Amino acid sequence: MKMSHRPTTRSKNKRHRPDDSAQATAEIFWKIHSTGQFTEDDLNQLYMIWKPICQGCRVNTKDNPNCFCGLVPPPNGSRKSGLWQKMSEIVHSLGPDPSKELRASTSSPAGLTNLGATCYANSILQCLYMNKSFREGVFSVEPNVLKEQPAHLLKTLELDNGVQQDSHEFLTLLLSLLERCLSCSKLSKARTIVQDIFRGSVSHVTTCSKCGKDSEASSKMEDFYELELNVKGLKSLDDSLDDYLSVEELQGENQYYCESCETRVDATRSIKLRSLPVVLNFQLKRCVFLPKTTTKKKITSAFCFPGELDMRHRLSEHSQSELIYDLSAVLIHKGSAVNSGHYIAHIKDENTGQWWEFDDEHVSNLGRHPFSEGSSNYAAKSVQTEPVVHPSCSESIDAVATGSHVECLARKIQTGGAKSITMRV
């Protein structure tokens, strides 16, 4: 007995596009391409916007632009969930919401994300950015200069986010590269902004004790962008400046050969400050080399510096005009080891007078007088196990390295200390 075969109905209800549909679409596209013109009827045919609004189909009608059942299922349809119901999963896959990282207000400075071990770079960049004159000078650079130079700048810096580096070395390299890159600018405001703000000059003077004449090299001027001051055995910025400008006696085996006297004679040698920059940066030499162990050790002793500093009597030729510097930033290294720890910066906003703590992406307001005498007294009560040097006046600042960064801020953290002090005229 032969079985009968029923006709298949698998594709019975399958909708087929008319044979001439593809041809018609191609003709419309060709006409638009050749003439550059199109009609409303062309849009209707190409995008099928003439189709009726879907009222709840069983499945999404893909060729109907007015069907949104896949996005928002209708209450009378079989689809129970759509794209909007899954939105939380989709958004979560995109990562953290940037809107949650917004600053509390536009008056609050922004932080910088730590990329691994880049806190030393973040702190320096924040100090530079908060200097309004420097920021405006850099931002005034022509677009073509920015297009050509930043790639070379970033390539040369080669930040290693796996190794904690020295902030002083980074600042020296960064200013040197910026000075070279900005020299390509045709705008004087940008071209010499690094030199105009940070550059001063010194000379190393050697004087013969016999004839009283200075060496020929004594007249040579050397540029500086920061003054490196000794900290070991010294208690304040004034002590460090006295040490920096002190007179060294050249005697015995260290005698100096005087060309005028044509013989080796006793002499004196010292550094003379010839000119001072608008922003004076002091680098505190807290790391010392130990010859016996051939290692470096961090000096964690207390160090005081003033809120105002008069530099008139420090110049080799005393200036008649005022040279009063105001404290504008303190770079702090937290931790007792040389090659580890953490960098933060305390910076004063020159527009508002408010002090801010920059700790990578975290920025905290410290108020107008975070280093006041009252704060220091509070710190003395809070950190009883750590030595505190009480300021002699309300303008004196206490940078204590044993147990807290700046003792006057009454924060108990790892052993650390002020690494760099910036003052502005």
Task: Bin 410: left if φ > 0, else alpha if -120 < ψ < 50, else beta.
Answer: left
Rounded CA-CA distance 265/257 in Å is 6
The Cα–Cα gap between 354 and 347 comes to 8
422: which 2 tokens? 């910036």
- Exposure b/e, 169-185, CB count within 10 A at least 16 = b: ebbeebbebbbebbeeb
Residue 92 catalytic? no
Those residues with Cβ within 8 angstroms of residue 76's Cβ, 6 or more apart along the chain or in another chain: 56
Q: Mark whether 67 is an active-site residue.
A: no
**Cβ pair 146, 178 in contact under 8 A:** no
119, 181, 208, 258: the catalytic one is 119
| Active-site annotation holder among 333, 342, 346, 405 | 342
- Assess contact for 87 and 333: CB atoms under 8 A: no
Cα angle: 113, vertex 118, 119; to 5 degrees: 75
Other beta carbons less than 10 A from residue 303's beta carbon: 25
Check if the beta carbon of residue 402 is closer than 8 Å to that of residue 302. yes
Alpha-carbon torsion 212, 217, 221, 223, what sign? negative
Structure tokens at 163: 């190794």
DSSP codes, 17-44: --TTHHHHHHHHHHHHHHHS---HHHHH
What DSSP string describes 69-121?
TTTS--TTSS----TGGGHHHHHHHT-S-GGGG--SSTTSPP-----SS-HHH
22-53 as b/e, with b when 16 or more CB fall inside 10 Å? Answer: eeeeeebeeeeeeeeeeeeeeeebeeeeeeee
Catalytic residue numbers, as ranges: 119, 342
